[in-house]
Structure 1
């Protein structure tokens, strides 16, 4: 990973002698995208709903009686329909989502796992919690019925690395198979690591992304006890409102996002479709607090600076930013301050998909990387849902609201932040 000190000195992808130095991150093609989100199962359905700017949160019977009883669920998901050869009893829901998204992404990339050299295919998936639904259900059985009732499949379903492992089995991927755990930045960290592996010839194809299904009574209660969740019970669909003056917390969500990534030369050689190019990335730590971001946003700024340096770009080159934008008072204010400090009085456009999707936790960075790639591809910025009034205590942003905005985008950033002070920023350029 790329690490920099306060004077900008660094080591890793942007400075590595084997790669060549700043601006030589080079051409990594995004050839396939797969999405399972509260906006729909499939990339097209998700993109359409995000561009409509309509929130997906609704009352959730599974959370009934809890301090917060609404969420953003993936609705209408059928494992047998969306996952070839599915065995629902074997996989936790977070793995089912990852399998569905990955199969869509691989098909979108026009690749055939039966024909590729699996030793040169890597899988890197991020998750904040792994198969927590399985753990919760089996623990209840242990308490209520005793150990005889606990399934022998508990650990293969629950362990956080199992989505990546099961995906490798399904796709015959025998290269590096890794799990990233950087909380809500996990999916973006996976994409960054995939870029590094492609640039260092560790693999020829990388299947990278994130998946999480943390909409459980325990997770919802824990987040509510922290004061992190919106309490807007009267209008759940309007509860997630990034950067809005009346925001009061995020909405818990679930989903998965998977990208197929290749070197541009390899994609061109097989005449593959290319949605966008990963131009650079930056990762950093706040080193400030376990759950609160550094109020000055220095860690996020460091990650953005790194992503720009590796992309051989300056702040003036950035046309658009996909913000982390959780809809919590502190996060949004911190992110706005960092953006304002970097981009000044003439900022790029900003959008925050969590207004539509809620917070998909470890999947968020990958889902939003995919949406940013689509934004660059279509030259169209989706609106930030539920924004009504600027926060007078927040730095000003060029926020896209109401309707999608068509604009010329040469370079876009996607920001992800996570508990523990993790920051990950991805930079995307058009395919050509």
Structure 2
């Protein structure tokens, strides 16, 4: 079997639109949450989100391309461009049939859909864009990346809700490990901060309403947490077989050594109250990596800041790791990023790769009074510099989809 490594990374996030800016803000405990200013939130219960700042789509993609793409595809292409440049791969010296794309989105082009529904109702059917469907379908981002880089290998847009990033990375990992491809773009993208989305999630009482203090709103494991904060962005990684990477003397961030997936088989939106599916995914990932629980040095938790979700993930960690659970640092990137939905797993995988490379665990901010049922070591007192070799990253989604990946420091 081929070993699989990460040789390029690109990010669009509320904490910055480059790897270094994103990483610096993450380890310094900076919150990317602010008041929504892209539409009128006067009548909304929730008025806050993690919004991408200083994004010049036309400057990055060109005017004509930017105009025909939904925002979620724009983010994906921008992050993919960063990752490709970072990897230093050369299109002229790569087998296009062994270059693939696994990039997903939970909601796809909802902004484009809403704009065209408004056009239909206000101006009639002749004003609906003929490019509506290719712009809004959730596989558009993967398709656009494939077209731009002439990636003629497997191309897919996994849809596993908020587990998409890890699902994409894990399935791409499997392809490379089996020897079917050499290189894969993998990750997730999302641009769902719209009037409609905020209203729906808000009415479902899933979102935080701490509108008067946005930077304190996302509070994983804290007793006063009141829901997640929706965010947008993209996290794209270049995965490559180790043999291919070594043949061109590539820079390597980390190695992917395990992947596990499961289903709660419980409820369309509610997580399993005992974290059974989460436990199964993590157990499968460790087995796939041929690791015992005591070999995990850090856990990047899904930790959305919901009442049930944070407790059930904590329970799952305890079930898998036993007494060792209390010795493993756990970090919650969403305390700063908010919940990027389909983009979350990709961005959090980038954060974990940077942690392993630099020996720094980002903090879980806003954890002031832990929920009594959330009693693990959540790295709540600032970033922690520590020797770490292997890390586990969790992503869970509506429908009971669970995906966990294991990364290892490359030496």
Task: Tell me the TM-score range normalised by the shorter chain.
Answer: over 0.9
Q: Which moved more, 1:79-88 or 1:212-221?
A: 79-88
Structure with greater helix percent: 2
Gaps of 5+ in 2: none
Cα offset, 1:420, TM superposition? 0.2
Cα RMSD after superposing both structures: 1.3
Q: Deviations over 1:84-125 (max 9, x none)?
A: 787111110000000010011011111122442211100000
Match of 1:4 in 2: none
For the residues of structure 1 that align with 2:293 and 2:9, how far apart are their CA atoms? 27
For the residues of structure 1 that align with 2:241 and 2:189, how far apart are their CA atoms? 24
Cα offset, 1:342, TM superposition? 1.8
Q: Is the 8 A contact 1:79 1:86 kept in 2?
A: no
TM-score (norm 1): 0.92
Match of 1:365 in 2: 345
Q: Deviations over 1:341-386 (max 9, x none)?
A: 2223333101011111111000101111111111111111000121
- Alpha-carbon distance change, 219 to 106 in structure 1, aligned in 2, over 3 angstroms: same
For the residues of structure 2 that align with 1:86 and 1:361, how far apart are their CA atoms? 28
Q: Is the 8 A contact 2:365 2:382 kept in 1?
A: no
For the residues of structure 2 that align with 1:114 and 1:63, how far apart are their CA atoms? 48
Match of 2:354 in 1: 374
Equivalent in 35, 41, 60 of residue 59 of structure 1:
35
Alignment of 1:191-340 (within 5 A): 191-340=169-318
For the residues of structure 2 that align with 1:232 and 1:303, how far apart are their CA atoms? 32
Match of 1:399 in 2: 378
For the residues of structure 1 that align with 2:165 and 2:64, how far apart are their CA atoms? 23
For the residues of structure 2 that align with 1:99 and 1:331, how far apart are their CA atoms? 31
For the residues of structure 2 that align with 1:280 and 1:297, how far apart are their CA atoms? 20
Q: Is the 8 A contact 1:209 1:366 kept in 2?
A: yes
Q: How many residues align?
A: 407
For the residues of structure 2 that align with 1:353 and 1:412, how far apart are their CA atoms? 14
Q: Which moved more, 1:78-87 or 1:287-296?
A: 78-87
- Alpha-carbon distance change, 317 to 52 in structure 1, aligned in 2, over 3 angstroms: same
Mapped pair 1:160 → 2:138: yes
Match of 1:95 in 2: 73
For the residues of structure 2 that align with 1:128 and 1:152, how far apart are their CA atoms? 23
For the residues of structure 2 that align with 1:189 and 1:89, how far apart are their CA atoms? 29
Q: Which moved more, 1:81-90 or 1:194-203?
A: 81-90
- 4+ residue segments displaced more than 6 Å: none
Q: Deviations over 1:46-68 (max 9, x none)?
A: 11111111211111121512221
Match of 1:144 in 2: 122
Mapped pair 1:354 → 2:334: yes
Mapped pair 1:179 → 2:177: no
Alignment of 1:74-113 (within 5 A): 74-83=52-61, 87-113=65-91
Match of 1:35 in 2: 11
- Alpha-carbon distance change, 32 to 249 in structure 1, aligned in 2, over 3 angstroms: same
Q: Is the 8 A contact 1:123 1:175 kept in 2?
A: yes
For the residues of structure 1 that align with 2:409 and 2:72, how far apart are their CA atoms? 31
